[in-house]
Amino acid sequence: MRAVVYKQYGPPDVLHLEEVKKPIPKDNEVLVRIHATTVTPGDWRLRKADPFLARLFNGLTRPRKVNILGFELAGVVEEVGPKVSRFKVGDSVFASCGTAYGAYAEYACLPEDGAVAVKPAGLSYEEAAAVPIGGLTALHFLRKGGIRGGHHVLIYGASGSVGTYAVQLAKCFGAEVTAVCSSANVEMVKSLGADRVVDYTKESFDRGGEAYDIIFDTVGKSGFQACVKALKPNGYYLRAQHIEPGAIVRGLWTSLTSGKKVIGGNAVINRPDALRELAELIDSGRLRPVIDRRYPLEQIADAHRYVESGRKRGNVVIAVERPAAE
């Protein structure tokens, strides 16, 4: 099968399309013929070993544990292990691969009890591939913040993959949503249901004196002190991105010395029940993926280059399946 592999850390050009051995499903696994995947920040950071600590996970001098990236996918079940009962051959599914990665390929094996679910009927494979990581991350953190109806929630980085889902999910929970993004994305974010949009290139979200039950920074670029100050007495400051050591210490101190809570780190993205919950919201028309650009698998390096630039909005999708004429 075709797969994009990388054998050294570095720029997007370290990614190469090669022929590799097709995987064989274990007793509790399904073999998925992949139609589409995406490029997430997690993909380019592991490719680049940024931060350096990524090397502790994947190999100090070169990639050893993971050499096929790809965090999420959508496709068709082609084979099932003898102990699989939830899925059958021919099922259209979407999934998070977790820390095993592996979606930059024509096939991948996934555990039946992992974050795999039947694809929402109203989505294409490319749209469905863009749901798991952003959607599960947003759902995880909003739940950590105890979101409920009537909460006033601020989403910082509202135009990215996690942010676009966070805006919509917060509205699903009945919250009043203030979204922060750049000028170019204001109208798009409004279309997702945000009650108020702050253009950070023109104003600061904390200058109006508003107080929030939850401030969710999806991109790790908000000011720590400004966010904590803008919280209500028992509010939550959530950060979905890597937190520098200094912020971790300040976050612990804030949580210990006040009613305000600071929560950051990695989301739990291997819950099939949460993925099914997202699918139900999509089927009901209350949640939708935002697609910025689409690339064929052969142009994966260009897609990585674009995502790493920080200019994307929503999701960048990779079409894996060969055109019918090939």
Q: Which CATH number fits the domain that encloses residue 229?
A: 3.40.50.720
Q: Are residues 312 and 197 in the same domain?
A: no
- Tell me, what's the pLDDT at 154? 98
pLDDT in tens, 163-191: 999 999 999 999 999 999 999 999 999 99
Section 69-95 average pLDDT:
98
- Tell me, what's the pLDDT at 40? 96
Q: Are residues 139 and 111 in the same domain?
A: no
- Tell me, what's the pLDDT at 245? 59
> When comparing pLDDT for 326 and 29, which is higher?
29
Section 271-297 average pLDDT:
97
Q: Are residues 126 and 138 in the same domain?
A: no
Find the domain containing 253 and state its range: 134-264
pLDDT exceeds 50 at position 205: yes
Q: Are residues 236 and 139 in the same domain?
A: yes
- Tell me, what's the pLDDT at 221? 83
Q: Are residues 120 and 77 in the same domain?
A: yes
Assess if residue 283 is contained within a domain.
no
Q: Residue 288: which residues within 8 A CB-CB, separation 6 or more?
A: 127, 168, 282
Q: Are residues 40 and 117 in the same domain?
A: yes
Start-end of H helices in 158-270: 161-172, 186-191, 224-229, 245-257
Residue carrying structure tokens 């600590």: 53
pLDDT exceeds 70 at position 247: no
Percent of the chain exceeding pLDDT 70 equals 95
Distance CA 44, CA 307 (A): 8
Percent of the chain exceeding pLDDT 90 equals 81
The model's confidence at residue 306, banded by pLDDT at 50, 70 and 90, is very high
pLDDT exceeds 80 at position 70: yes
pLDDT exceeds 80 at position 34: yes
> When comparing pLDDT for 296 and 253, which is higher?
296
What does DSSP say about strands 231-239 and 212-217: parallel, antiparallel, or unpaired?
Answer: parallel
Distance CA 238, CA 142 (A): 8
- Tell me, what's the pLDDT at 60? 94
Return mean pLDDT, the chain. Answer: 93
Distance CA 213, CA 114 (A): 32
- Overall number of domains in the chain: 2
Q: Are residues 27 and 100 in the same domain?
A: yes
Q: Can you read off the two tokens belonging to residue 130?
A: 């863009």
Assess if residue 281 is contained within a domain.
no
- Tell me, what's the pLDDT at 244? 62
pLDDT exceeds 90 at position 136: yes
Q: Can you read off the two tokens belonging to residue 62?
A: 């070169």
Distance CA 82, CA 133 (A): 28
Residue 143, helix vs strand vs coil: helix
pLDDT exceeds 90 at position 296: yes
- Tell me, what's the pLDDT at 149? 96
Q: Which of 2-16, 106-120, 217-231, 274-288 has the lowest mean pLDDT?
A: 217-231
Q: Are residues 307 and 201 in the same domain?
A: no
pLDDT exceeds 60 at position 294: yes
Q: Taking the CA of residue 266 as centre, how many other CA atoms within 13 Å lie in the half-sphere pointing to its CB?
A: 8
- Tell me, what's the pLDDT at 284? 96
